[in-house]
Amino acid sequence: MNSKEAYEYVIADLEQDIGWEPEALQTALDVLKGRLHEIVDVHPTLFDDTPDPTDNEGIAKWISEAFDATVENPNTNIVDELNARINKFNQEDN
């Protein structure tokens, strides 16, 4: 499963979840759909199906770093960690 498919899977799962407050659910979906838009339309080469794990700017490294950061610090979450890496990339790209 690539990053695009993973986001689509999570979005589809959340859209079926009835346990959320409606406003919280909409916020979560908006954030995930925004990330999916970045994956598909803004930076598609960063999210290739077969990323090079040695590419320091590639998503393969970002995902493992983000998961490691959430394990090391339980006060952070995966969305915040990935967002921080995407924002850093965007700043360096400008």
Q: What is the pLDDT of residue 2?
A: 76
Amino acid 52: pLDDT:
56
Q: List, for residues 8-67, the tens digit of each pLDDT value.
A: 988 999 998 888 888 988 999 999 999 888 888 877 666 555 555 555 556 666 777 777
CB atoms within 10 A of CB 36: 18
Domain boundaries, the chain: 3-93
What does the pLDDT read at residue 30? 92
CB 11 within 8 A of CB 36: yes
pTM for the predicted model, two decimal places: 0.49
State the DSSP string of the chain: --HHHHHHHHHHHHHH--SS-HHHHHHHHHHHHHHHHIIIII-GGGG-SS--TT-TTSHHHHHHHHHHHHHH-TTS-HHHHHHHHHHHHHHHH-
Question: Which whole number is the average pLDDT over 71-82?
Answer: 82
